[in-house]
Amino acid sequence: MFETSTDSSCRSLLSVQLSAIMSVRKTEELLANELSCPICLKLFSEPVMLPCGHNYCLACIWEAMMSEKGPHLCPECRQEFPGSKALQRNLKLCNIVDTYRAALEKSSRDQYSFSNHTLMEPIKALEFFCVTDASVLCASCFIEGTHQDHDIQNFESAEADIRCILQSQVKLASNKMKMVETLLQRSLEDEKVFATARNRLVAKSMTLLGSMLQRVNSYKSGLSRELEEEQGGQQESWQAGINHVMKQQAGLKEVHDQVASILEETDTSMFVLRYLGIKDRLKDAIESNVSMPSQRVLDVKRLHAAMETDEFREEMTRLLQALHTLLNPLELTFDPNTVHPNLILSNDLKTVKYSAKRQTYPEHAERFQTTPQVLSSQGFSGGQHRWQVEAEGCQWVLGVCYRSLARVGLPSALESSSGSWCLMWCDNLLRAYSQGRDTPLLRTIALRRLEIHLDYDAGSLTFYSANDGIVHLHTFKAAFTDPVYLAFRMMSCQNKSHITLIS
């Protein structure tokens, strides 16, 4: 910051005033020393002068004389004097001391009177700003107060400095406000995504449960028709069977209603608690087989053919399994039957490490033989899914593919398949491969951690860098026709190279 001529003049004036103040105070200290007795170190009281010219309080020198057993000596110069008859009253010094003492008493009274003074708004415009105390001063307060050793500025300099500080602080506040707005916007977007996912989950669950209920009702109606034809002696036996199926229907209906109610729950904690309350019953409903009415007294073959029992059982099992998968996300692992012999799979099936020595894995039609690749055990034919993977010490190809990917030869390379969508990071260049077509993306340093988002129904596969925050890398758009599996390939590997499923 540049200093103006006014600032310089004010500072010069302040310097002169401070010098004058310090000079006056130094003079006062010297005068007080000269007017003080060398023995008691207080202002002279009835000062007397010895023949050598030194002055003392009468009481002080008399006490000194009484304590001496030999000749009387001056306490300062040690010159001998004859005793009390040599003491001469110093009237001039006495007058000076009395005048000085009176001045001190007046100053003390003035200070005491101002100590109880209530501060008021200044009549004159304030002139100075104390940076040390962050207070404003008039000239008198500055000269006579307790601010002499403080950092003092005139108002012009203070305004410039404060304005600079405020501009810096308002810039920081503005940046922080933008950050808060960004976080708020992101939170709103996350809430929107969550609401969309929740609504989609509710809709899919209702569709599955509705299909189950419709299938049960259809089966019930068909069974009722068949039973009407078998009336007579078998009526009682078949009625028991019908009641049993109706009981199963009621159980499914009750589970349907309870799950529907839970899925409409908006409170997160209540949602989890209510789910835990029905979890076991839902599991029983999913895992229990649909029992059929007693066939001991009926024409079983005819009824079986007429009711298409196997188709009903298969359809119900499929619907229950779909509901179970929807409400219980899969734990992603690597498939041991697909891992290449140069890859070692961890015990938890979540990490593959490169090994220069080929492993003696059992022969399997699903195992990759040409390129060091591995697929996930789980496939995905619907819904939204998200995973994080970590790659260390290797260049890689990561993505999804159909299970039909070749296992031997060039077509088995993940990036070469017509049924794969993946990213390749090689020689610090990131490339996208969509059904065998190559698209260069960007040059980048090692991408150690990636996040993958799959929206099967929307035909979207998105990759993000998760090294330091989440950064979008690429999005594939595709119309998936079969279940897709996560696929990983290691390139230019070392013994410490590994790929891990984080979540």
Name the 3-class secondary structure at 142: helix
For residue 187, the model assigns a pLDDT of 79
Residues of the chain above pLDDT 90, percent: 23
Taking only the tens place, the pLDDT of each residue in 389-420 is: 999 888 999 999 999 999 999 999 999 888 99
Taking only the tens place, the pLDDT of each residue in 212-235 is: 888 888 878 877 777 666 655 566
What 8-state DSSP symbol labels residue 234?
A: T
Query: Would you place residue 121 in the very low, low, confident or very high pLDDT band (cuts 50, 70, 90)?
Result: very low
For residue 306, the model assigns a pLDDT of 61
Tell whether the model's pLDDT for residue 18 goes beyond 60. no
Mean pLDDT of all residues in 365-378: 93
The full set of domain ranges for the chain reads 5-156, 191-327, 343-501
Q: Per mean pLDDT, which range of 297-301, 379-383, 466-470 is the poorest?
A: 297-301
For residue 114, the model assigns a pLDDT of 46
For residue 370, the model assigns a pLDDT of 93
Among residues 66, 70, 45, 67, which one has the least CA distance to residue 55?
A: 45
For residue 119, the model assigns a pLDDT of 45
Mean pLDDT of all residues in 353-363: 91
The dotted CATH code for 191-327 is 1.20.1440
Taking only the tens place, the pLDDT of each residue in 177-198 is: 888 888 888 778 878 877 887 7
Judge contact between 478 and 368, C-beta under 8 A: no
For residue 454, the model assigns a pLDDT of 93
In angstroms, what is the C-alpha Rg of the chain? 49
Q: Per mean pLDDT, which range of 116-125, 299-308, 419-428 is the poorest?
A: 116-125
Mean pLDDT of all residues in 359-383: 91
Tell whether the model's pLDDT for residue 301 goes beyond 90. no
For residue 1, the model assigns a pLDDT of 40
User: Which H or E run contains 153?
Assistant: strand 152-154
Compute the 3-state secondary structure of the chain and give helix, strand, coil in percent, each to the nearest 5: 45, 20, 35
Which are the contacts of 365, defined by CB distance < 8 A and separation ≥ 6? 407
For residue 375, the model assigns a pLDDT of 95
For residue 203, the model assigns a pLDDT of 83
For residue 330, the model assigns a pLDDT of 64
Which are the contacts of 332, defined by CB distance < 8 A and separation ≥ 6? 350, 376, 377, 378, 387, 486, 501
Mean pLDDT of all residues in 282-310: 64
Tell whether the model's pLDDT for residue 54 goes beyond 80. yes
Judge contact between 464 and 363, C-beta under 8 A: no
For residue 496, the model assigns a pLDDT of 79
Mean pLDDT of all residues in 105-117: 57
Q: Which fold, 5-156? A: Herpes Virus-1 (3.30.40)
**Higher per-residue confidence, 306 vs 405:** 405
Structure tokens at 486: 């996560």
Mean pLDDT of all residues in 116-122: 46
Taking only the tens place, the pLDDT of each residue in 427-477 is: 889 999 998 888 899 888 778 899 999 999 999 999 998 887 788 899 999
For residue 120, the model assigns a pLDDT of 45
Mean pLDDT of all residues in 419-423: 94
Mean pLDDT of all residues in 257-278: 83
Query: Would you place residue 162 in the very low, low, confident or very high pLDDT band (cuts 50, 70, 90)?
Result: confident
- Asked if CATH classification 2.60.120.920 holds for the domain at 343-501, the reply, yes or no, is yes
Q: Per mean pLDDT, which range of 104-118, 157-171, 247-261 is the poorest?
A: 104-118
For residue 339, the model assigns a pLDDT of 95
Mean pLDDT of all residues in 84-104: 86
What 8-state DSSP symbol labels residue 371?
A: S
